[in-house]
A and B are shown apart, each in its own frame.
With several copies, the nearest count.
Chain A
Amino acid sequence: MALEVKLDAFEGPLDLLLHLIEKNKVDIYDIPIAEITRQYMEYIKAMETEDMNVMSEFLVMAATLLDIKCKMLLPAEVNEEGEEEDPRAELVEKLIEYKMCKYMSMELKDMRFDADKHMYKNPTIPKEVLEYKAPVNYDELLSDANLEALSRIFEEVLKRAEDKIDPIRSKFGEIKKENVDLEKKQEVVFGYLRSHKHCSFRNLLSEQRSKMDTIVTFLILLELIKISAVVVKQESENDDIDIECVNIDDNLGMLLES
């Protein structure tokens, strides 16, 4: 049994219910739930996969059927109008609705086939029309404005501007955040040098983001040269700087402490 069959024919529990019922319609008058279960298990086996969706759909269906069976065993419920409620009514109602929905969906499918033969057109609005700008209607635009209102608005704006100034805090100087954390930067550069031993300055810089980062990295390198932790070489002006690490580990500890 192909998987597609399951997708199309066994979409939902009601569908599954319908299908199984239709199969038994001809001569079997009473179908025990046990029998439906058995058939269902066969179906599952035939699919060779235990699809959780199909299984849970079946559980919903079986529970619905059991619920109705239980209601049938109990004394009939009486509704507000004093009529006995048929527990099957709800299921019948649902089945009718579902059957109608199935039928209508088939009708829609046919209609779509015919409608697809028409073609529509994308907008082609002439440039002259697109570029047209409506003249401003000043009477409408400024209908509720006059000079008095304008001067009142201006006073309000000024007043608000005054209110915004915090008389105390506005006198404080500005404190700027330091953008580059020197210690962290050192560790990053050291880490890079430790893992590379021999590297180019440009590669080292490729990990830096801002101008400040670049400058600090260069200063760290100068410091390293000073304490003889690295040896640098540059063939000619504007060339890349070749960095070679010399007993870097011993020296770095010193630098970090200082």
Chain B
Amino acid sequence: MDKKEAYGTIEAILFAVGNSVEIETIATALDVSKEEVLEYIDDMQTEYAKKNRGIQIVRLENSVQLRTKDDYYDALIKVTNVPKKQTLSDSAYEVLSIVAYKQPVTRMDVEKVRGVNSDHIINRLVELSLIEEKGRLNAPGKPIVFGTTEQFLRSFGVASLEELPEMSNDMIEEFKVEAEKEVEVNLKMDV
């Protein structure tokens, strides 16, 4: 198979499937190595970046998927029914960030950080496919552990968990100072 045919095949597959497709699946279908597929996809991404293309390839962990470029969002909303945006409450964002950064986490872990029972929010996030069960912890009661989903990556526009924003050291230091001060203030004895 020559390169151009490979591009065409990958485009055909990604278009028809619509959902994300694993690199490995594509490699099997093309009968080439995974490295070659990744190389092709790199080439294609460069090609898609041109102005006359309306779509792009997005990487999601070990899969790839086609999606529209955000430049065309305004034109698109004139034509298609934009899927209703699921709004999340601030507490849902809190739970989501705990799951994203500390996964795999149990319900208990989330509760410990937030100080309140968060089962309801966790269930809601599972319903929205933003988090999912990732097995059980080998601990008393065999609690379920949760992690983020591919939908999470899509919704937040990152290719992998590594791309999630990191806390800078300065930030952490600042929080530490703040927290210590606050605790200090509270512990002055004068009940």
Contact = CB atoms under 8 A, between A and B. Distances in A.
Given A8-B90, A138-B154, A138-B155, A151 B191 contact: no
Interface in A96-115: 96-109, 111-112, 114-115
Contacts of A158: 113, 175
Interface stretch (A129-137, A182-190, A234-242): A129-137
Given A69-B191, A155-B167, A11 B116 contact: yes
Interface in B59-81: 65-70, 73, 76-77, 80-81
B19 interface: yes
B91 interface: yes
A162 to B, nearest CB: 6
B91 A11 contact: yes
Interface string B159-191: 000011111100110011011111111111111
B185 A167 contact: yes
Contact of B156 (A30, A121, A136, A150): A150
Given A100-B175, A119-B68, A130-B80, A147 B90 contact: no
Interface in A73-126: 73, 88, 91-92, 94-109, 111-112, 114-126
A140 B87 contact: yes
Given A25-B185, A31-B185, A150-B96, A96 B81 contact: no
Given A31-B185, A100-B175, A154-B97, A126 B68 contact: yes
A157 B66 CA distance: 53
Interface of A is mostly: helix
Contact of A137 (B86, B156, B190): B86
Interface string A1-22: 0000001100111110010011
A158 B156 CA distance: 21
**How big is chain B's contact interface, by range?**
35 or more
A65 B87 CA distance: 35
Candidate in B129, B175, B186 with the most chain A CB atoms within 10 angstroms: B186
Interface in B38-66: 58, 65-66
Given A32-B190, A104-B165, A171-B186, A98 B115 contact: yes
A165 B182 contact: yes
A142 B155 contact: yes
A98 B68 CA distance: 36
B141 interface: no
Contacts of A123: 16-19
Contact of A148 (B80, B88, B165, B191): B165
Nearest to A35: B190
A196 B185 CA distance: 61
Contacts of A124: 15-16, 18-19, 67-68
